Amino acid sequence: MSSRPLIVDLDGTLLKSDMLLETGLDYIKCHPTKFFMPVIWLLLGKARLKEKLAEESNVDVSVLPYNDQVLKFIRDEKKLGRKIVLATASNNVYAQQIANHLNVFDSVFSSDGEVNFSSQIKRDKLIEEYGEKGFDYMGNSHDDLSVWKSSIVAHVVNPERGVESKVRSIGNIGQVMRDDANHLKVWAQQLRLHQWVKNLLLFVPLLASHQLNDVGLLLNGFFAFIFFGLCASSVYLLNDLFDLQDDRHHAKKRLRPVAFGLLSIKSVILVLPLILVLSFVASYILLPLEFIKTLIVYYIITLAYSMYLKRKMMVDVITLAILYTIRIVAGAFAFGLDLTYWMLAFSMFIFLSLALVKRYAELLEAKNSGILKKTRGRDYYPEDLHMISSLGGSAGYISVMVLALYIQELSTISLYKHHEFIWLACPLLLYWVSRIWLLTHRGLMNDDPVIFAIKDRISLVVGVLFGVVFWIAT
């Protein structure tokens, strides 16, 4: 057993996140109209900024993404009788909460409103307490280099670029701990590239106009698909940043990369504006102006949904239906095609039904988990299940009625040689809507309903038959 204390850093070491960014995001989410205040506090010093954010935020330390490797290491050392000390630049409010939660630290050193406990200040305090070369230190950043120089053993955890080589040059390196995550796979998950499949809705106007063989229009569709996907991914990133607390209390969403700590908040903040700007600039250069206008509307509505509307009963699902429908509108503008009343009406009702499927599945999962109160981050209670299923099923059936009325429209008769064959699509859609709702009621809807439909074999068969019906009618 070593008689030397083991000093452990928090941000980026014990914690796969950063408490300054955690509290900053929580503050902006709770006080969006006062987003500028952290800048003012920063002018008074970093220590003051951390103190004010700690006072004004409410981060649940019990669900933070702790590094399991580090926790196991320090608990093993603790069992051997070694003194374990938390030394962090985070504010003492959260440092103490974390220490109490983990119940493994003998002492805590942290920042207060006057002193930012980092780098040389941290080193000087540790030397004062334990003497030069009187402790082992575990950290991750360039700010820790001065502390490592005064330690006996330097343990390194997920080091910043260039840190490990500098520690090795000091000559006292000990454990080196790294996460084994595949970063390309993690980023694909964080950007939710699988959700881009929803952007196939952009091609609906092209399909309805019977111009799928136009190479120029298909190229426009390809660009629209990519740029819309980048814009949507930027919103997913922003949504996940602001929903960190809610996601970490969710059985599945807690595994999202940024919530789970596989990606740093800082990296997400850096990537977000890059892909958003790329989406808008490329759209402006390569696609009609109406498309980028629609993309801007989509972004604004999605931002409002992420920040506020998703927490309002029924407003959330209607907004989701609008966002799905906007993809069809954007597609029409990308191809320079006219939108029809029938297409918009059908889209709103079918997507409202699917949005309600999503809410029903979430509520059912919460109810089966024993949650009887209002679900976190939503404005629904488990007892709302029956009403949601009634509304959702009705919306789905109304979309079938819209399709039936469309068949006898004069424009339909002129567009299809055998328009009467479209009647065969009605029972197919009735079957599909009914089946989706029955599966959801049985607790088998474990994904976004649109993603589920693309993965589900029977849904794919129905989709093919649906297409065949319209092909025969043509």
Could you report the per-residue pLDDT of 164-211, keeping only the tens digit for each? 999 999 999 999 999 877 788 899 999 999 889 889 889 988 887 778
Per residue in 392-406, pLDDT (tens digit) is 999 999 999 998 888
pLDDT of residue 249: 86
Task: Give the rounded percent of residues in the chain with a pLDDT score beyond 70.
Answer: 98
Helix (H), strand (E), coil (C) string for the chain: CCCCCEEECCECCCECCCHHHHHHHHHHHHCHHHCCHHHHHHHCCHHHHHHHHHHHCCCCHHHCCECHHHHHHHHHHHHCCCCEEEEEEEEHHHHHHHHHHHCCCCEEEEECCCCCCCHHHHHHHHHHHHCCCCCEEEECCHHHHHHHHCCCCEEEECCCCCHHHHHHHHCCEEEEECCCCCHHHHHHHHCCHHHHHHHHHHHHHHHHCCCCCCHHHHHHHHHHHHHHHHHHHHHHHHHHHHCHHHHCCCCCHHHCHHHHCCCCHHHHHHHHHHHHHHHHHHHHHHCCHHHHHHHHHHHHHHHHHHHCHHHCCCHHHHHHHHHHHHHHHHHHHHHCCCCCHHHHHHHHHHHHHHHHHHHHHHHHHHHHCCCCCCCCCCCCCHHHHHHHHHHHHHHHHHHHHHHHHHHCCHHHHHHCCCHHHHHHHHHHHHHHHHHHHHHHHCCCCCCCHHHHHHHCHHHHHHHHHHHHHHHHHC
Average pLDDT over residues 337-343: 82
pLDDT of residue 162: 93
Spatial contact of 284 and 231, defined as CB atoms under 8 Å apart? no
Instruction: Report whether CATH 1.10.3720.10 matches the domain 182-339.
Output: no
Question: 55 Cβ partners below 8 Å, 6+ apart?
Answer: 93
Mean pLDDT for all residues in the chain: 90
Average pLDDT over residues 266-291: 95
Spatial contact of 8 and 87, defined as CB atoms under 8 Å apart? yes
pTM equals 0.85
Whether the predicted pLDDT of 420 surpasses 60: yes
Per residue in 312-326, pLDDT (tens digit) is 889 999 999 999 999
Per residue in 66-85, pLDDT (tens digit) is 999 999 999 999 999 999 99
Spatial contact of 122 and 89, defined as CB atoms under 8 Å apart? yes
Whether the predicted pLDDT of 2 surpasses 70: no
Per residue in 91-119, pLDDT (tens digit) is 999 999 999 999 999 999 999 989 999 99
pLDDT of residue 204: 87
pLDDT of residue 253: 85
pLDDT of residue 166: 94
Whether the predicted pLDDT of 381 surpasses 90: no
Average pLDDT over residues 268-292: 95
- Poorest-pLDDT segment among 320-324, 364-368, 383-387, 431-435: 364-368
Per residue in 11-51, pLDDT (tens digit) is 999 999 999 999 999 999 888 889 899 999 999 999 999 99
pLDDT of residue 37: 94
What fold, for 6-177? Rossmann fold (3.40.50)
pLDDT of residue 197: 87
Per residue in 264-278, pLDDT (tens digit) is 999 999 999 999 999
Task: Name residue, tokens 């429908």.
Answer: 325
Cα R_g (the chain), whole angstroms = 27
Question: 367 Cβ partners below 8 Å, 6+ apart?
Answer: 382, 385
Whether the predicted pLDDT of 1 surpasses 60: no
pLDDT of residue 137: 96
